[in-house]
């Protein structure tokens, strides 16, 4: 959910309110679907594969530490994403126009901590459930998020924040 990539995920809380005038005339990045729905859809397809294909086993010594580590890391990223948006007082929803470009907190490291966090949680769920087949749709989900959500958000943010966003984009990677 991410620089806003959740596009808008990128707002500098220290830069006062800066709703871009041009963005005000645009109704948002027009993402293809709510990102959590995309991740949940992929996970559902993955569990469907798991039910139809031969079972997969993961030793508990690997499954629990790695799976729980992924869940924790993803959850922390998601929490930091929400906190950064709250501190900047800008909407989290990709369907609402951002008021500020968030570049603090997790946005110093990745332009998309929300989406990265959801991918880690997805992988953690699949691993702890011993549903390794569920990891196959994750690759498709990441491509859909990258092209159908992030790319659209980035176009919107470039339009809304211009050089400020382009500079941020050059300094911080899209994913990690």
pLDDT tens per residue, range 132-152: 999 999 999 999 999 999 999
pLDDT grade, residue 13 (50/70/90)? very low
Confidence tier at 53 by pLDDT (50, 70, 90)? very high
Nearest-angstrom CA–CA distance, 114 and 110: 9
Which band of pLDDT confidence, cut at 50, 70 and 90, is reported for residue 28?
Answer: confident
Q: What angle do CA 9, 137, 44 make, to 5 degrees?
A: 90
Residue 24, number of CB atoms within 10 A of its CB: 10
Q: Which residue ranges make up each domain of the chain?
A: 36-50+59-171
Higher-confidence residue: 18 or 122? 122
Q: Which of 115, 114, 117, 87 is nearest to 102 (CA)?
A: 87
User: Residue 12 and residue 18: Cα distance in Å, rounded?
Assistant: 10
Q: How far is CA 109 from CA 55, 61, 80, in A?
A: 37, 30, 12
Q: Which residues of the chain form beta strands (DSSP E)?
A: none
Burial 105-117 (b: 16+ CB within 10 A, else e): bbbeebbbbbbbb
Give strand pairing partners of 11: 102
Confidence of residue 4 (pLDDT cuts 50, 70, 90): low
pLDDT confidence of residue 26: 57
């Amino acid at each position: 959910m991410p620089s806003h990539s959740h596009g808008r995920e990128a707002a500098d809380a220290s830069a006062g309110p800066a709703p871009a005038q041009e963005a005000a005339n645009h109704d948002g990045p027009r993402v293809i679907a709510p990102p959590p729905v995309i991740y949940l859809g992929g996970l559902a397809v993955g569990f469907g594969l798991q039910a139809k294909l031969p079972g997969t086993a993961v030793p508990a010594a690997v499954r629990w530490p790695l799976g729980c580590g992924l869940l924790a890391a993803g959850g922390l990223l998601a929490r930091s994403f929400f906190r950064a948006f709250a501190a900047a007082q800008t909407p989290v929803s990709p369907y609402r126009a951002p008021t500020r470009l968030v570049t603090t907190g997790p946005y110093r490291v990745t332009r998309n901590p929300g989406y990265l966090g959801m991918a880690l949680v997805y992988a953690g769920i699949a691993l702890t459930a011993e549903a390794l087949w569920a990891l196959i749709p994750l690759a498709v989900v990441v491509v859909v998020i990258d092209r159908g959500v992030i790319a659209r958000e980035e176009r919107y943010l470039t339009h809304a924040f211009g050089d400020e966003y382009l500079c941020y984009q050059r300094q911080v990677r899209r994913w990690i």
